[in-house]
Each structure stands twice: as C-alpha cells, then as structure tokens.
Structure 1
Amino acid sequence: MRNLTLTERLSPILCRPISEVDRRRAALLFLDWTGCAVAGQVEPSGQKMTAAFKEETGPCSRIGTGPSSPLMAALHNGALGNVLEMDDVDRQAVLHAAPTIIPAALSVAEYVGADPDKFLNAIVVGYEATIRIGRAVGAGHYAFWHNTATCGPFGAAAAACYLLENSDLVSALGLAGTQAAGLWQTRHEPDSMAKQLHAGHAAHAGVLAALLSVQGFQGPKSILEGEQGFFRAMCPGADPEDILANPKAEWLLHETSLKPYPACRHAHPAIDAALKAFNELGASDSDVLVETYADAIKFCDRPNPQSTIEAKFSLQHSVALALTKGVPVLSDFEPDVVGGPLKALRARVSVKETDAFSGAYPKHYGASVTLYGKTYTAHDAYGDPEVPMSENAVKDKAIGLMTHAGMRAKDAERLAQAALESDLIKYLSLLP
C-alpha cells in the first residue's frame, strides 16, 4: 500500500466542520475585499484589465463591466482586489489571500447558484489551503517568489472544489500547483502592473484546476513534495510537511490581518508608531529613525519615491505622512503629494533593521520611530489579530473605498451591508 501524498493528507484538514463564527469572519473578509476591488477597478491597472477582456460574455459578474465565464470573472475580479495595496494579509504566510480566494469562490458560487453559507464555507476552506502552504514555503521562496501568486492557486482551487459537485480536490490541488508562478521582479520596476496580474492569475488558475477536475482531468498528486515538485523547485530549505502542522487548530482565516492604511503592510507598524508620536507631539519635521525588521526594509526602503506605487512601498513617505498629518489616506499617495513638500521630511527619515523586530517577524510585524530623543513602538500593526479592526471600522473602510471610486454613499452602504450579510443575489445586483 502506497503512502498518502501531502495533498491527500491535506484534504481532511480542509473538510473539518465550519461554524457560524467562522462564516462571520469570512463575511467580514468578503466585505473588506469588496471595497478594495471596487476601488481598484477605477485605477489605471484596473481599467486596463477591464479593457483587455471587455468582449467576454458569460454568467458570472465582473466589477465595472459585463459578465463573463467563471474563469474570466475570477481573473478580472482577482486582479482588482490587489490594486490599492489595501487587501488583507497573513503575516506568517506573507501573502494576500482575499484577491485569490474570494474572486474564485464568488465566480463559482454564482456559476452554480450556491447559497450564502456554502459560499462562505468555500472562503474558509480556500484561506486554509493557501495560508497553510504559504506558511510552509519559507524565506528562500519569498526571496524571489510572490507568495500570493504561488500559493493562491491552491486555495482558489480548494474554494472552487468546495462549490462544485463531483470535483476532485487532490487533482485540482495538483493542477493548481503546476500553474504556480509570480516573481518579485515586478517590485523593482515601478511601471509594472504584474503584481495585480499575479492575484488574478492565481484565482483563474484555481478555478481552472477545479473545473478540469470535475471532468476527470488528473493532476499530479505529489505536486508539493515530489522530486520535481513545488517545494523541491521553489522552496529552498523548507519542509513541505509543515503544511500539516496543527491539523485541529482554529481555521486560519481568523489569524489574517486587515489593512487600515493604503500602503504596503510592511510599512504599517512604522505608521502606527509614527501616529503615536503625532498624537503626542503634533506635526513634526524632526530627524526620525525608523527601526523595524529586515523584510520591511528590503521591500519599503524608498527615501525618494517617484510614483504612487513607490510611495506605497516607502517607509519614509508613510512615516512622513503620519508625522505631519496623522492617519494616511488614499489621496496622500497621489503624485502631487509624492512630489510635494514631504520630500524634505522624507530626507530626514532614516531606517534601520534591528534584531528584536527581525526576531519577532513574521509572527509579529513591529517597528519603532525615534524623534526628539523619544521612541514610540508598535509591536503589532493595527488590524492584526492582537489589535483588530472592529466590524464597523472594516465597514467604514470599505464604504470609503467605494465612494473614492465614485459610488454614491447610499449605494456603497447598501453593497457593504449585502456583503456583510452575504446576500449574494442582492450583492451581485448592486455591484457597479
């Protein structure tokens, strides 16, 4: 008798009971993603994604344009959710689950006419698969590969399989894994929009894998641990068995973090620390030292950003904003602000990696800012499980994003409430 593969051993973990509390968390994440995706559609990369496939037709809704096949709906809506860098994140997996899992679950739920509970259950299962694999891939993978892109297809496939009759989860996970891709080179080229394609492709790949599995199209069962599989090829130093850690633990979507500010999550703890200084001292133009963990500096040490996306990945810009005006908002990352008076303060912000913050990472995203001889520290970022956003705060964020995109406040409120209630028929009818 052969040994079971990792995908076969993972499957029972994805089939555990799901409670009303779990579904409520899934609904909150659905609400958060909705605000991000609606706002993302009106941005340049969102508009280009819409224009590229505007002739598509089919039964599944796409934000800002006509319906299409479930595959293209997953691709389109998946790309939109990551545009503004405000989508949720799992700290240990270092990935955004929402823009890969939720568009896949939404397109297939609409395709098969799933009820709200089954749709939310699919989100729970999808998050679990993606986060488990993301937490296992290790730093060697993240050094080159965008975890959202590479681990997202597995969760998208799991979510889609949950909703499709006669699907084969093991085959779908194998087919998802063989499509895993997405390189960090996109972050080195400011004009690149590939990061959004990563999320859309992951959602598309998962739905494709699940639909093919229904037809008996077989995928490689040992895609994770095989001699030429995902971990051997792409995850140096990592142990694929870690995917199965704590099999009876609470569903992992409860450990995801939500993002209150429109910047890279690695910048958030520094923003929180700077806000503590701002609340005590008021606006400041002092020399500032930011201390944080190595990955925050690797991805966000940009003292002179030249564009909106570079500013969102700039510790210097984010901290300068927080120290001069308080809580950053979307408009603070627009070109006129990026190229404006903040340049002088950004030049006075220095950054440094410290063992204390790097040692706590990735379980904790921390940072401190020091100015006028006093240090302000955030050991966890606002929106993390230790410092959660309330339901009302998440709803306000989503409504703010949707009105930023041009929706009337009343319409945004109705869509947000439909998402929170997971009334899919009403929700789909209200999408712009």
Structure 2
Amino acid sequence: MSEALLSQLAQRLSRPVSAEDRQRARLHLLDWLACVAGARDTEAGHLGGEISRAGWERATYAGNALEMDDVHRTALLHPGPVIWPVAMSMGSAAMEQRLDGAVRGYEAMIAVGAALDAHHYAHWHPTATAGVIGAAAAFGSLIGFAPVEHAQAMANSASVAGGLWHMRHDDVLTKQWHIYHAVRTGRDAALHVHYGATGPKGILEGPQGLFAAMTREPGQLADAGEGWLIHQVSFKPFAACRHAHPAIDAAMELRKAGKLEAPFQVETFADALAFCDRPDPQTELEAKFSIQHAVAVVAAGRDAEPQDFTMDVVGELADLRAQVSVAEDPAITARYPAHFGARVNGLELVDTLGDPERPVSQDRIAEKMQTLAKLGGVKDADRAISLALEGHDAAAIDSMLEDWLA
C-alpha cells in the first residue's frame, strides 16, 4: 500500500532550507509587507486593525486587499497573504525560523493547490482550500514538527478546507475573510497536533476525502524535485486580478512602442474572461476584475496602480473602455495555466511580467514597497525594505506591523 500523499509531502518538508531559499523568501516577505502597507487605510485594513493587537493577525485582511499579492500560476492561488501572517505569528521565532516556515508553507500550499482541477477552480477558492494546508505546514515548521506531526496537522486542516467563489458576485470582504480563516484554521490545526490531536493522513486521496468531494480529475502534487516551489511563484506588478495582467502587460508594450491605438482588441484565455470580462464595472473591486478597464487605464497613460481603479477613474475612462473588445483565443487557453498570455491589437505575450520567465528585479519589488507605502501613508518604507531583505530582527517587523495597523 502506497504512503499517503500528505505523508509524502511531510517528508519533503523535513528537508533543510538553504540560504538561497531564504533569500528568495525575503523577496516574498517584502512583497507581502508592501501589500499590507498599501492597504492599511482601506476598509479591509481597518477591519484587520480591529481584530487583534498582534500585527500578524491584523495583516491577514490587508495582505490581499489591493489584488497585488504574489501568485502561483498552475496552482492558481496566492500563497503570500496566507503564509506570511502564519510565519510571523510566533514572537519567539528567529528570522531564519520564520523564513524556513514560509518556504515550507509555500511548498505545501502550492503542492496541493496544483493537484486541484478546473472543476474545483470553477467553484472553490484555492487560496482558501489549499491555504489551510499551507498554514498548518508553516506553523508546524515554527514548532519544529517531525514529518508525522506535519502530516497530521495538514490532514486536520484539509478536513475543513473550503471557500466558495460565490463572493465574486458581491462587493464584499469575503475573499479577505477566506484568508483569515485559512491562517487561523491551519495555525490552530498545527497547534492542536502539537498538544496531541491526530489526523487522517489519507484525507486528500481517500474515498471521502478532499479530492473526491471537490474535484473531478485531480492531478499530482506539485514537486520541484530537490528545490522548493517558492521559486516558481510570480510577483504582481499591477493592481488588478492576475487574469487581467497579460492584457495590461501587452498594452504597455504597445504603448512603449507608440502603437497602442483604439479600438483595442484583446484575445486571451478562457478563465480571464470568466473572471474579468466586465465592460462596465460598478465598484472598485469590479474595476480590478475588468480587462476592459485595465486596458483603458494603460491607454490613458496610467501604470495600473491602485489609484487607477477608483470610481473616479472608472468614470473618466468610460469612453476608452467602450473601445475595448475581449475574446477567447483557444491557443492561449491551451497554454494556460502554465502560461498566462494575451494578445492586444496583434501583439502577443506568452508569459507575463512577474512570472519566472519574465522576472521582476529586487529593485522593482523595493519600488513596489515605496509606491504602496506612499499610498497607505506609511513613512518607514526604507526601513521595511532593509528589515525584509537584510534584517535579522524579526521582532522589529512585528512592531512595525503593529504600528502600521494600529
């Protein structure tokens, strides 16, 4: 009888994390801090500030609010806003312990998320479904779990996995609540195993397990071989749904060449249309999920930053938006989700800025911190950059988060 999938995954989590892996994790820490800083004065940021005195817990609502959080393409989920609050949640943990916990949390969350199929993604929010498992892995690393404990903690978290996409139909904070739920549930699952709880390690593939209940054609757990999956995660340079990024990127390339002219014809993959075909957005959230508005933003000379998706800008760009048509290209859909692509007025990009094939630099992520800190009224962006990329004072980051979200 083969070993349970979560037991196999737990064995992978027991590997040592290298200095190179920790440095990669620092880039994602900085990216998450930038997202939190930018969202501190939003409705989600204020709500997070009411929840707890602990900075990590307050930040659970802010980390995803701007739609600029990191993303894994084939798993179709956002690890950063789930994993970093957990990795920063043990005040006694040193910086290296937190970075190691994050690497392991990303690994578990992405590995399981990549096995979920199109049927799952049509109904379930994978950042929540797989997020509880990643959160359990991250906190288990902080505690110092052996593989058997890691497997049981991930199993118990998976037993209550969920998060329905229906919230996309309303202007609500349910998506942020999903992240809070994943953080707390996964963390609590690990804590309970630490005190003696046990869990069903076959919960993924079992006859009444997660795959049976939530998928039709589950795939294999993602595996980077001897490396870690965190190196496959993409950064988001634009303040919109990731499905709109390929069209933004192609439009910007045309604009740089002086060739972005109306009318604008966008061809992209099917999921991009399912999530982001919104010719007439009525809220800021809908604007972030609108390919039409995203292309209009670029055509207007803007850079797809958070302020470009406010209702004032939505009103200003109505005429440009009306000149944007969108359609599916089956060839682009066939390459998805391994490649997020789009064609705008004939210019096709197979991969999008921020993906591993077209990476953003450390300087670009630091610039994102500066930009979002200014948006959120945060004064210590330089300090945040230094603490994330070079610092060893984890407690200083804790205090900084508490100050930002007080």
Do they superpose with TM above 0.5? yes
The answer to whether the aligner puts 1:161 opposite 2:140 as a matched pair is yes
Q: Is the 8 A contact 1:278 1:324 kept in 2?
A: no
The answer to whether the aligner puts 1:263 opposite 2:240 as a matched pair is yes
Q: How far did 1:247 drift?
A: 6.1
The answer to whether the aligner puts 1:344 opposite 2:319 as a matched pair is yes
Distance (Å, rounded) in 2 between the aligned partners of 1:37 and 1:172: 28
Q: How far did 1:246 drift?
A: 4.2
User: Helix, strand or coil: the match of 1:136?
Assistant: coil
The answer to whether the aligner puts 1:324 opposite 2:300 as a matched pair is yes
Q: Aligned AA for 1:300? A: C
The answer to whether the aligner puts 1:204 opposite 2:203 as a matched pair is no
The equivalent position to 1:369 in structure 2, one of 326, 331, 344, is 344
Partner in structure 2 of residue 126 of structure 1:
105
User: Helix, strand or coil: the match of 2:154?
Assistant: helix
Q: Is the 8 A contact 2:123 2:164 kept in 1?
A: yes
The answer to whether the aligner puts 1:177 opposite 2:158 as a matched pair is yes
Q: Is the 8 A contact 1:23 1:120 kept in 2?
A: yes
Distance (Å, rounded) in 2 between the aligned partners of 1:274 and 1:162: 42
Q: Is the 8 A contact 1:283 1:324 kept in 2?
A: no
Q: Is the 8 A contact 2:47 2:61 kept in 1?
A: no
Q: Is the 8 A contact 1:146 1:184 kept in 2?
A: yes
The answer to whether the aligner puts 1:107 opposite 2:82 as a matched pair is no
Q: Is the 8 A contact 1:84 1:262 kept in 2?
A: yes
**Which stretches of structure 1, 4 residues or longer, exceed 6 Å deviation after superposition?**
none
Q: How far did 1:41 drift?
A: 2.6
- Cα deviation digits, residues 104-154 of structure 1 (max 9, x gap): 11102x2xx122112111111110100011111111110100000100111
Distance (Å, rounded) in 1 between the aligned partners of 2:203 and 2:66: 32
Partner in structure 2 of residue 272 of structure 1:
249
Partner in structure 1 of residue 386 of structure 2:
417
Distance (Å, rounded) in 1 between the aligned partners of 2:303 and 2:37: 22
- Cα deviation digits, residues 252-308 of structure 1 (max 9, x gap): 100100000100011111001101121122664x11110000001110000000111
Q: For residues 166 and 155 of structure 1, do their structure 2 counterparts lie closer, same or farther at Cα, with a shift above 3 Å needed?
A: closer
User: Helix, strand or coil: the match of 1:261?
Assistant: coil
Q: Aligned AA for 2:194? A: V
Q: How far did 1:430 drift?
A: 2.8
TM-score (norm 2): 0.95
Q: Is the 8 A contact 1:91 1:257 kept in 2?
A: yes
| Correspondences of 1:389-400 after superposition (within 5 Å) | 389-400=360-371
Partner in structure 2 of residue 406 of structure 1:
377
User: Helix, strand or coil: the match of 1:143?
Assistant: helix
Distance (Å, rounded) in 1 between the aligned partners of 2:389 and 2:25: 9
User: Helix, strand or coil: the match of 1:295?
Assistant: helix
User: Helix, strand or coil: the match of 2:344?
Assistant: strand
Q: Is the 8 A contact 1:79 1:198 kept in 2?
A: no
The higher-RCO structure (CA 8 Å, 6+ apart) is: 2
CA RMSD of aligned residues (A): 1.6
The answer to whether the aligner puts 1:356 opposite 2:331 as a matched pair is yes
Partner in structure 2 of residue 297 of structure 1:
273
Q: Is the 8 A contact 1:13 1:248 kept in 2?
A: no
Q: How far did 1:400 drift?
A: 1.3
The answer to whether the aligner puts 1:82 opposite 2:57 as a matched pair is no
The answer to whether the aligner puts 1:96 opposite 2:71 as a matched pair is no
Distance (Å, rounded) in 2 between the aligned partners of 1:46 and 1:81: 8
**How many residues are treated as equivalent by the alignment?**
399
The answer to whether the aligner puts 1:138 opposite 2:117 as a matched pair is yes
Q: Aligned AA for 1:354? A: D
- Cα deviation digits, residues 157-195 of structure 1 (max 9, x gap): 001001114672121011110221111101111x22101
Q: Please, which runs of 5 or more residues in structure 2 have no aligned partner? A: none
Distance (Å, rounded) in 2 between the aligned partners of 1:188 and 1:249: 41
Q: Is the 8 A contact 1:262 1:329 kept in 2?
A: yes
Q: For residues 246 and 332 of structure 1, do their structure 2 counterparts lie closer, same or farther at Cα, with a shift above 3 Å needed?
A: closer
Q: Is the 8 A contact 2:45 2:59 kept in 1?
A: no
The equivalent position to 1:386 in structure 2, one of 326, 351, 357, is 357
Q: Is the 8 A contact 1:171 1:218 kept in 2?
A: yes
Q: Is the 8 A contact 2:124 2:162 kept in 1?
A: yes
- Cα deviation digits, residues 406-428 of structure 1 (max 9, x gap): 112xx111122111124312222
Partner in structure 2 of residue 429 of structure 1:
399
Q: Is the 8 A contact 2:267 2:344 kept in 1?
A: yes
User: Helix, strand or coil: the match of 1:125?
Assistant: helix
Distance (Å, rounded) in 1 between the aligned partners of 2:144 and 2:218: 34
Partner in structure 1 of residue 173 of structure 2:
193
Q: How far did 1:327 drift?
A: 1.8
